[in-house]
Chains A and B, each alone.
Chain A
């Protein structure tokens, strides 16, 4: 059986130290890309983490709001107007804000997203939260996020033991009566769910008329698109927007992915990783081509084509891509686990991200290889006599 001598691989293997350096370079670049994309993905995911748990077909919110933090407010009486639109079954007001809470375990101040809901109406898809919403009827009662960032073991243990943890939030007495799972975001350490009345008592400055957003639920079989149009006609105010739930989530994600500076920062980080990797691979391949100039000229004199030599360099680029990628995949999985544990952020090595980074690695090695092959032109067999 005929197979081609794997010349590129043999040349790389002949210089083990150089090969190791090249693999480390690719690995470093990949890990950098994995981290940056991981953070960006986590950021995009967490920005709608809470919103995607909400029950609602249509969301009415302020036009100034672009993400949950700083979502703005809508006058309550406008939200109530929506109830008159045909097809709307009900509407519930949701209040959202940030509060500081001194963690009873660590004594450190935590920054929590606090959500005020009507305990009589299902607001969250999560059955765990829904089953506990009646606990919020008493003023001062709260449900706490067990996956909040930091050590909340004191709170979690005493609540899990069947008890109620009495503490103080914003100068008011508060009782943590139940737990649920949500997780931290980049902006907040966790989430606290309370009733609307409790929310207003915790965040003294807010008035009941300034709602964060309204969740509109439609009667069965009603077309959300048509109802959105109808609502937009009724609520044709400059500061109020009506979106389907999907549009609402998408616009929050889009703001983060495209318009926010953080997204740019992470993309730049990933790009720098790509450049560093490309520079290292180019350096290694160029040095290898340079070192084998007379052998390459010799191969041409044996009748090998220029394309054959291009193939050798491509082979090397592909080998570096694969050999650098595989360990970086394992390293990324390990680092993701560590970072996810430390930050309570969802950092998951998805197939899509692994595929994207591999594609970028191949691109990086291909560009470097293509640049390195320019040197091959100098391999002239007539010069070796």
Chain B
């Protein structure tokens, strides 16, 4: 896939002139400065950089978990800046989040957890939920663990359940934050490849924040962030 072909459609995520400030007065600290970033459907972007450079803040704003203070943040054609809580919530339903901690619900089975990813979209999508959730778990290699509770799964398996939950609705945008940090090298690699393959299959855009140098090769683009600014690699 070439960038020019995919960019003809609206980018899955487009950020322009985004700055973000924490605190006020003497405590005022600018964590993001004039960020411009566009990710095309199906494109996989890795964002790396030192701790505290603003990666996570950028991810939470892109993920509609935090309001944008300035500039523009768009999902497709939908502007998030100035959106109310209800609109932010709707926007979140079109995003697949994958966190460092898997955050699975420990009272629900693997299947039940994936189902929660669908249920957020309301009853309209639930007609064949069981088949879709089971299929999603099969695609992450957990057909034999559908009825297992998170406590009985390994770290890698849990993260794969989390991936299945994030991707079961085929969201146009996937945001992953240090998704491999808690995993060993092999499981981490497997998880990232899963994310890449599933995202490419669905045409989802992926923004992945990571410290893990071993997985940079899965990305179409690698961006480095320092002191709140993105530096495009030469």
Alpha-carbon gap, A233 to B56, bound state (A): 90
The stretch from B34-42, B89-97, B197-205 touching chain A is: B89-97
CB of A298 closer than 8 Å to a CB of B = yes
User: Does B56 contact A385, Cβ atoms closer than 8 Å?
Assistant: yes
Q: Are A382 and B65 in contact (CB under 8 A)?
A: yes
* Complex contact B112–A10 (CB within 8 A): yes
- Among listed A101-109, A129-137, A302-310, interface-contacting one: A302-310
Interface flags for A1-33 (1: CB within 8 Å of B; 0: not) read: 010110100110110000000000000000000
User: Which of A295, A303, A385 interacts with B92 by CB under 8 Å?
Assistant: A303
Interface 9-mer from B8-16, B117-125, B182-190, B225-233: B117-125
Contacts of B108 in A (CB 8 A): 5, 7, 10
Chain A, 84-118, CB within 8 A of any chain B CB? none
User: Which B residues, 94 to 132, have Cβ-Cβ distances below 8 Å to chain A?
Assistant: 97, 99-101, 103-108, 112, 115-117, 119-121, 123, 126-127, 129
Docked Cα-Cα span, A294 to B105, in Å, equals: 9
Which of A11, A297, A305 lies in contact with B107, CB distance below 8 A?
A11
**Which residues of A294-346 have CB atoms within 8 Å of chain B's CB atoms?**
294-295, 297-305
Taking the nearest CB of chain B, how far is it from the CB of A144, in angstroms?
A: 64
A138 CB to nearest B CB, Å: 78
User: What are the residues of chain A within 8 A of B103 when measuring CB–CB?
Assistant: 294-295, 297-298, 384
B172 at the interface (CB under 8 A from A): no
For A374-385 the 0/1 string (1 means CB < 8 A from B) is 000000011011
Most chain A CB within 10 A, of B59, B60, B112, is at: B60
Interface range on chain B (Cβ under 8 Å from partner): 20 to 34
Which has the most chain B C-beta neighbours within 10 Å: A10, A302, A382? A302
Is B43's CB within 8 Å of the partner chain A? no
B211 to chain A, nearest CB (A): 14
Please give me the residue from chain A that is nearest to B103 by CB atom.
A298
Within 8 A of A (CB), among B161-211: 165, 177
Interface residues of A in 344-385 (CB under 8 A from B): 381-382, 384-385
Question: B115 to A5, Cβ gap below 8 A?
Answer: yes
In the complex the two chains form, is B117's CB within 8 Å of A385's CB? no
Q: Which of B56, B108, B112 has the most CB of A within 10 A?
A: B108
A301 vs B101: C-alpha distance when bound (angstroms):
14
A5 near B60 (CB under 8 angstroms)? no
> CB distance B101 to A303 under 8 Å?
no
Q: Given B92, B112, B126, which contacts A301 in the complex, CB threshold below 8 Å?
A: B92
Instruction: Judge whether B65 and A381 touch: CB under 8 Å.
Output: yes
CB proximity of A30 to chain B, nearest CB, Å: 26
- Taking CB atoms, residues of chain A closer than 8 Å to B107 are 7, 10-11, 13-14
Let me know if A385 and B112 touch, CB within 8 A.
no
Closest approach, in angstroms, between the C-beta of A15 and any C-beta of chain B? 8
Complex contacts, B121 vs chain A, CB 8 Å:
303
By beta carbon, the residue of chain B nearest A11 is B107
| Closest B residue by C-beta to A288 | B107
**A382 CB contacts on chain B under 8 angstroms:** 60, 65-66
B93 touches A303 (CB 8 A): yes
Residues in A with CB closer than 8 Å to B104 are 295
CB-contact partner of A302 in B66, B93, B112, B127, under 8 A: B93
Q: Please measure, in the bound complex, the distance between the C-alpha atom of A202 and the C-alpha atom of B101, giving whole angstroms.
A: 87
Closest 9 CB pairs of A and B: A303-B93, A14-B107, A2-B123, A298-B103, A2-B126, A303-B120, A303-B92, A382-B65, A10-B107
What are 9 A-B pairs with beta-carbon distances under 8 A? A2-B129, A298-B97, A299-B116, A303-B120, A303-B121, A381-B65, A382-B66, A385-B56, A385-B60
